[in-house]
Structure 1
Amino acid sequence: MPRLWDVPVHDSTRVRDARVAAEGAAALAGLDERRTAAAALVATELATNLLKHAGGGQVLVDVVAPPVARAGSGHPSLVQITAIDHGPGMADVCAAQRDGFSTARSLGAGLGTCRRVADDFDLHSAAGRGTVALARIGPAAPRRDGPDPAPADHPGGPERPAPVRAGGVNVPFAGAAYSGDAWTWVRSGDRLTLMLADGLGHGPEAARASSAAVQTVRRAAHLGPAELLGKLDEALRATRGAAVALAQLDLRTGLLRFAGIGNIGARLREGDGWRALLSRPGIVGLHRPTTLTEHEAPWTADRLLILHSDGLPSRWTPPSGPVLPTADPAVTAAVTLRDTSSAAHPVRDDTTVAVLTPTPPDRP
């Protein structure tokens, strides 16, 4: 079961807790001493910024796969550090990421340092609603002592990156070490599958169910959504069961297929509007419906898919704004979480949001 850290930062003593969480995640990800120090630095800077500029917030630390899925089960593990607040927001997001910029009479090296040492860094801020800052830190790049690899279009060259990215945030209920929710993002040939599972209830047994779903999807990502749900039903019979939703994109046809069982929510943006993708009632591993329907939709450059567990309120408004279509998908997930919760209305269960977006043209 994957370990998670949800660190509330409301006074200076919790900055150390954020750093310790990053160091723990780095150990799970197998990072070396230098990259562990980078993760600790980023967590410290982001937590400190929460106190200086927003009056506090929360830092989420997780171990995740890269946002761009590649074929096969092998991929580096990245430490993902997300800082979320409901503060006043930033007047100039670009300026805030430059070294030397400060509104708190400090050195102004925080966000610029984070961007420099992280493998991925993104920031979203809205006036009066708060800020989300996200960084991923992975292993050091391997030394390249031999000849350059063959180009991507060469028969022996590396696989072309997919023109889509996925990311998510997972918040365990009441600050627990484990979440009953889990998500994964897998590629098999031209098929890319995003899955979100919500184990029945919460706690370690719910986490075992959702973790079993993750492992099954990674082994059987070549199957279509409906058939894969059948495999999941068999695999989860030894657990308490889970709600599961699967979204699969076929790169060859440009078709998105969706199927789900249970109360995982799904919203697909089509142009200026949003469409709900409905799952069938039931529990994977305990009570699977006899027939399953796959929803199909063309995937184009204006699409964006959000999957979420029932920790979000039943009625919520999808995020909007000119920046989010090109934002890191995990930032969009965190913004969704931020805008549907607050100190007065905290999440009421394990809560996970997973997002699928097109890769912006200027990204590799």
Structure 2
Amino acid sequence: MSRVWEVPVGDSTRVRDARTAAREACAYAGLAPRRTAAAELVATELATNLLRHAGGGRMVVNLVGPPAGGPGVSVQLFSLDHGPGIADVPAALRDGYTTAGVSLGAGLGSCLRSADTFHLYSAPGRGTTATARFDPGHAGPGTPAVQAPAGGICVSLAEAEQCGDAWSWVRCGALLTLLLADGLGHGPKAAHASTAAVAELQRAAHLPPAEILRRLHTALRPTRGAAVAVAQLDTDRSELGFAGVGNTGARLRTGESWTSLVSHPGIVGAYFPAHIPVRRMPWRPDSLLVMHSDGLPSRWTPPDDPRLLAQDPAVLAAAVLRDASSPARPVRDDTSVAVLAPDRRTRTHDSRL
């Protein structure tokens, strides 16, 4: 799933590019024609809104695993901007709502209906983040959306097609494991390394974090290697275990404070440490974990808006990436952010009705 589409939306010609990106991603995922048409509609609406209401922004399209961890590939659209924000989100999601004289006649309400899940977070003066996911097994209107316990976003350096970063999660009994991999460098060879890490996780999810990393080290030897972080939640014991090798970052929020989780120096697949420290911490109902690659600025500021912290993990990951970078402070490498928040519940208007 290393293929990434990123479309800076600065003029009307890029709306077409956003629609094309959605169509190409659906073709990669093998989604049915009706789901592809729905994705194109949502991409068009979100890109148009970036121009009309935010003065521009960017669309990102990722291929991700389906929410239930089953077979197939989902397509996830992201819309990111630093515009004026939306003062009344529930009103904006109602059919027929518009602040423009000329409209597609669809609006955000159509995004809510068309996607398998649609989430939107906006803060006046700080911009808007929206995500829409299209799954391989669409259940149809009126079916409750399946919420994933983890979410993330990947973007490539210089809008390259192949991203050297990857993230994934898998559930094995009471264990829920989140992985983030950053292949050395960028481009196809880096993507090969991170993709190999994701594939091996599916076979090693029953193991504790340190053993998963050792298995990954063996699997990644034929590649150029990667920095990898593994977080594993034991839902029976309400305990989080974290271990990392290489230059990745992680922060755990409990209550009102954030704690940095440090990875050990090394390269999975090349220079593996003799000992891997594993940090274990209680996981509370208000806990939240953010992991990221080194493409994110090292001094990024964790969010403190309670409304954002309660959002779907994919929205939170996208907002962290958006707020950590800007035209004046662009990302300097492939960049990924992954969030674990299995106890979160979103409001009704954040999900497909």
- TM-score when scaled to structure 2? 0.93
Of 62, 83, 89, the residue aligned with 1:87 is: 83
Matched residue SS, 1:219: helix
- Displacement of 1:362 in angstroms is 6.7
Of 193, 197, 201, the residue aligned with 1:213 is: 197
Distance 1:95 1:262 in 2: 45
Q: How does 1:289-304 map to 2 (within 5 A)?
A: 289-304=273-288
Distance 1:46 1:85 in 2: 11
Q: Which runs of 5+ in 2 are unaligned?
A: 141-145
Letter in 2 for 1:35: R
Distance 1:216 1:235 in 2: 7
Distance 1:310 1:57 in 2: 23
Sequence identity percentage: 61
- The number of residue pairs the alignment matches comes to 342
Q: Which runs of 5+ in 1 are unaligned?
A: 144-160
Distance 1:171 1:361 in 2: 26
- Displacement of 1:301 in angstroms is 1.1
Aligned to 1:154: none
- Aligned partners of 2:239 and 2:283 also within 8 Å: yes
**For residues 54-73 of structure 1, what are the alpha-carbon distances to aligned partners after superposition, in whole Å with 9 as ceiling and x for unaligned?**
11110001111234x44xxx
- Aligned partners of 1:10 and 1:56 also within 8 Å: yes
Distance 2:72 2:171 in 1: 14
- Displacement of 1:325 in angstroms is 2.9
Q: How does 1:10-49 map to 2 (within 5 A)?
A: 10-49=10-49
Distance 1:220 1:205 in 2: 23
Of 348, 351, 355, the residue aligned with 2:335 is: 351
Cα pair distance change 1:252/1:83, threshold 3 Å: same
Q: How does 1:99-138 map to 2 (within 5 A)?
A: 99-107=95-103, 109-138=106-135
Letter in 2 for 1:342: S
Distance 1:133 1:106 in 2: 22
- TM-score when scaled to structure 1? 0.90
- Displacement of 1:142 in angstroms is 6.1
Aligned to 2:143: none
Matched residue SS, 2:97: coil
Distance 2:15 2:50 in 1: 9
Distance 1:261 1:139 in 2: 33
**For residues 151-174 of structure 1, what are the alpha-carbon distances to aligned partners after superposition, in whole Å with 9 as ceiling and x for unaligned?**
xxxxxxxxxx99x71000100110
Letter in 1 for 2:48: T
Q: How does 1:178-327 map to 2 (within 5 A)?
A: 178-327=162-311
The RMSD of aligned alpha carbons is 1.8
Matched residue SS, 2:306: coil
